[in-house]
Structure 1
Amino acid sequence: MSDRLAVVLEVAPKKAFASALEWPGWSRSGKIPEAAIETLLAYAPRFEPVAREAGLAFPASFEVDVVEQVEGGSGTAFGVPSRIHEVDRQPVDGAEAHRQAGIVAAAWTTFDRVAAAAPAELRKGPRGGGRDRDKMVGHVIDADWYYARELGIRVKQLDPADRAAVESLRTQVLEVLRRPSDGSPLADRTWTARYAYRRIAWHALDHAWEMEDRSS
């Protein structure tokens, strides 16, 4: 028997994102919603080690249940799951907050592991573009610094080579994400806890998987 997979969709004219609500970071895109869901399921074997890193059992198969679809925007079209859904405004109790934050931590661990094994120069994309390893690492860390501000955390911009500073920021982020939430925006800004789990983990994993694909 397949396990239920609650999925949210954001749909723009030329791109759609499908995101697994209970597995933050497991978000994939396609030209249409059906293609996004198909790609999401195709990435299950790549997400399974992330779940295992978080200490969670990962089902062998899933039955997709689309619980909400919203209109995408410019962020969606650009390639970012950028919409906050109504289900993202639901409360999060302490146990769920720890589970979701654990997946975010596992996404960072996965990214770090992939980066450590990747060559400095990555294979170029089909149009000859794409960041090499160190620039990609810097990009992810810069993004995490920005994401932290959405959680009310303000520190000076990070040097990617300063691992102590990077780990300190991540610790502060996880402290916020482990707290129960009533579903309101965090730090009087716009992100809810559920959206923060998804966005932060997705960005780390999206680039980890890109780095893996471009290392061969």
Structure 2
Amino acid sequence: MTRIYLESGLKRVFACSLEWPGWCRSGKSEEQAIENLMHYVPRYAVVAGRAGLAFEPGEPEVVERLKGGATTDFGAPEKEPVADHAAVGAEAAARDVALMRAAWQLFDETVALSPEELRKGPRGGGRDRTKMVDHVTEAERNYARQAGVRHPPYKSGADRDAMRDELAAVLGRPWQGAWDFKWTPRYVVRRVTWHVLDHLWEMEDRSA
């Protein structure tokens, strides 16, 4: 059994795993979102494997339904499931951060292997490689602010890596509920990892 939650907007539904941050896909209906989520099992297995974790998900079981908003329909999951407000022990926090770091590593490797000009979408749109990288890293910097990690715009790859290391250190600590920021630690991990993987997989698909 794989516990998932659904976040539904007016036009789009996200199906997201509770236990595996970043494993989250969307569709036009609940059924399509769940189908797309399961279709990505082999691709997420690469992430879990890089983190040193066995990934053998069972049948999906919906344990929570959330009402999404404009961000949901725009294409990003924006709601925190109830589980993200529960205490997080040291082992669970370390596991989540390992998955986030695995996503970062795989994204950087994919960038290095991808052409600058990526295949356009069916309507002729889509960012090329450098613009996609800039989008991901800037969004990540803004997400980190929700965990109290504040860095100015990057001037180098070392600046980005310093932010990532600080964010991983913050999110890798046990959490018992005393949190002064907008997003819970687990949701920060979830949002960062999802965004990195979403564009990693897009880059892979548009490089083919």
**TM-score category of the 2 structures, normalised to the smaller one:** over 0.9
Q: Which residue does 2:128 correspond to in 1?
A: 132
Residues 1-31 of structure 1 deviation map (CA, whole Å, 9 limit, x = unaligned): xxx2110110112110011111100000000
Residues 164-203 of structure 1 deviation map (CA, whole Å, 9 limit, x = unaligned): 111111000100110111245x4x2220112111100000
Residue identity opposite 1:98 in structure 2: A
Q: Which residue does 1:211 correspond to in 2?
A: 203
Whether the 8 Å CA contact 2:90–2:174 is kept in 1: the answer is yes
Question: Alpha carbon RMSD of aligned pairs, Å?
Answer: 1.0
Q: Which residue does 1:10 correspond to in 2?
A: 7
Residues 57-87 of structure 1 deviation map (CA, whole Å, 9 limit, x = unaligned): 111x521111111111111000001111212
Q: How does 1:93-104 map to 2 (within 5 A)?
A: 93-104=89-100
1:174 aligns with 2:171: no
Residue identity opposite 1:93 in structure 2: G
Q: Which residue does 1:114 correspond to in 2?
A: 110
Q: Which residue does 2:83 correspond to in 1?
A: 87
TM-score normalised by the chain length of structure 2:
0.97
Question: In 2 relative to 1, CA 110–192 (structure 1 residues): closer, same or farther, beyond 3 Å?
Answer: same
Q: Which residue does 1:53 correspond to in 2?
A: 50
2 CA distance for matches of 1:127 and 1:183? 45
Q: Return the offset for 1:92.
A: 0.5
Moved over 2 A (4+): none
Question: In 2 relative to 1, CA 183–64 (structure 1 residues): closer, same or farther, beyond 3 Å?
Answer: farther
Residue identity opposite 1:89 in structure 2: H
Whether the 8 Å CA contact 1:7–1:65 is kept in 2: the answer is yes
Question: In 2 relative to 1, CA 127–183 (structure 1 residues): closer, same or farther, beyond 3 Å?
Answer: farther
2 CA distance for matches of 1:193 and 1:182? 10
Instruction: Percent identity, please.
Output: 49
Q: Return the offset for 1:33.
A: 1.0
1:64 aligns with 2:60: yes
Q: Which residue does 1:43 correspond to in 2?
A: 40
Gaps in structure 2 of 5+ consecutive residues = none
1 CA distance for matches of 2:174 and 2:48? 21
Residue identity opposite 2:105 in structure 1: T
2 CA distance for matches of 1:66 and 1:133? 35
1 CA distance for matches of 2:42 and 2:151? 36
Gaps in structure 1 of 5+ consecutive residues = none
TM-score normalised by the chain length of structure 1:
0.94
2 CA distance for matches of 1:109 and 1:67? 31
- SS of 2:21's equivalent? coil
2 CA distance for matches of 1:63 and 1:129? 35
Q: How does 1:20-35 map to 2 (within 5 A)?
A: 20-35=17-32
